[in-house]
Homo-oligomer: A and B are copies of this chain.
């Protein structure tokens, strides 16, 4: 893998969008969807797309038209811009409830060796035109990636990166509040939080900013990883905010932060509280998780009859001091490639194509929230779930004296004839 010994963040994602395999892949390409579309004949592509994205031949997920101002910004600033539309059936007693959702994925702006304040301001400056493109496109709810205001430094185990942490009403929130107000847009802002009122401890937190620029509330990451270079348990504990659903002007939303996507019960609890869209702001790298990435999000959308919006940062972040990864290999200075690939999954098992694996991007998707209840009525997963049975199972399981339900073959140790 290429490394920059000066600790500089590489900017290949802007200069060489899809031309080579610095991400460890064996061939350069921008996204799976584009690779398949460019290399299969249209008939085969249509069928492969039906199988992989749940889109029926006759009922394509159409792209929506965006204003010239948004596309101009994407060209000028070199970010991927894609837009889609999820359909729902017409109902007789409810009007359609179409919400326009935006997701932003991005690399950091300056090398991790730059002054922390410059790094943060650099990200603000980089994000501004992308947020403007979302605002001018009429996005109702916008979500940024996990810990968007800093490099994902938890691989280092160095505590000095805690300096990036901010209170819920800190400068990152203020930056977004003005844009939320300007564009009448709910913004979900996942930050590294410092809890001033409780001894200045650190949390991994999503702040929910209302469309009037007000802070509606916050949610703290429920499940903290200890896998590979994800040494996050070194920095913060499991969240203490439960599974809140935020009732906003544009629908009921929740946030499942990063590693929580591996926990079906976490997804479930947001659904039980009434979420219609669950955002999954993440930071994850190719070698570790790429084949899981679409599976878990789509399964959550299917199982819980809501939309899931998945966001992952992009690029490779090089840190000043080398670190080891607990795998016996030599010390190195980067986390691996954050593969982007942000996308949206619908409750009917369909999903959008993903944003680029290499470039900053804005994904805009119109979704009719009526689809959630329509799928519930059709498939009946809630009705058939037998939650009483599982409440008992879990209550029993958490007791130290729990005995699993095992039926042993009485002839287990008999030799074959």
A residues with a Cβ closer than 8 A to B are 25-27, 29, 32, 35-36, 39-41, 43-44, 46-48, 50-54, 57, 181, 184, 208, 210-212, 214, 216-217, 222-227, 238, 242-249, 252, 259, 262-265, 267-269, 272-274, 289-292, 295-296, 298-299, 302-303, 349-350, 378-381, 383-391, 393-395, 397-398, 404-412, 414, 416-417
Chain B residue numbers with a CB within 8 Å of A211 are 411, 416
A414, B384: Cβ atoms closer than 8 Å: no
- What is the oligomeric copy number? 2
Chain B residue numbers with a CB within 8 Å of A247 are 406-409, 412
A244, B405: Cβ atoms closer than 8 Å: yes
B384, A395: Cβ atoms closer than 8 Å: no
Q: Which of B263, B386, B395 contacts A395 (CB 8 A)?
A: B395
Minimum C-beta distance from A288 to chain B (A): 9
A397-B181 Cα distance, complex, nearest whole Å: 36
B47, A27: Cβ atoms closer than 8 Å: yes
Q: Which of B35, B47, B243, B248 contacts A26 (CB 8 A)?
A: B47
Chain B residue numbers with a CB within 8 Å of A412 are 247-249
Chain B residue numbers with a CB within 8 Å of A224 are 384
Q: Which of B51, B272, B410 contacts A214 (CB 8 A)?
A: B410
Beyond the given pairs A51-B290, A265-B268, A391-B398, 17 more chain A to chain B contacts, judged by CB atoms under 8 angstroms and listed by A's residue number, are: A26-B46, A27-B46, A29-B47, A39-B39, A52-B52, A53-B291, A210-B409, A211-B411, A223-B385, A227-B379, A227-B380, A245-B405, A264-B264, A264-B268, A265-B387, A268-B390, A391-B394
B244, A54: Cβ atoms closer than 8 Å: no
Chain B residue numbers with a CB within 8 Å of A225 are 380, 384
Using known A-B contacts A212-B417, A245-B406, A386-B222, determine if residue A379 contacts B35 with beta carbons closer than 8 Å: no
A386-B222 Cα distance, complex, nearest whole Å: 9
B216, A409: Cβ atoms closer than 8 Å: yes
Chain B residue numbers with a CB within 8 Å of A44 are 27, 29, 35, 39
A57: nearest chain-B partner, CB-CB: B26
A387, B394: Cβ atoms closer than 8 Å: yes
Chain B residue numbers with a CB within 8 Å of A52 are 32, 52, 291
Chain B residue numbers with a CB within 8 Å of A41 are 39
Chain B residue numbers with a CB within 8 Å of A262 are 302-303, 379, 381
Q: Which of B226, B252, B265, B406 contacts A244 (CB 8 A)?
A: B406
Minimum C-beta distance from A137 to chain B (A): 16
Using known A-B contacts A262-B381, A384-B259, determine if residue A393 contacts B227 with beta carbons closer than 8 Å: no
A407-B206 Cα distance, complex, nearest whole Å: 14
Minimum C-beta distance from A378 to chain B (A): 6
B43, A244: Cβ atoms closer than 8 Å: no
A394-B224 Cα distance, complex, nearest whole Å: 22
The 8 listed contacts between A and B (C-beta, < 8 Å) are: A26-B50, A29-B47, A222-B389, A223-B386, A245-B405, A249-B412, A264-B265, A295-B298
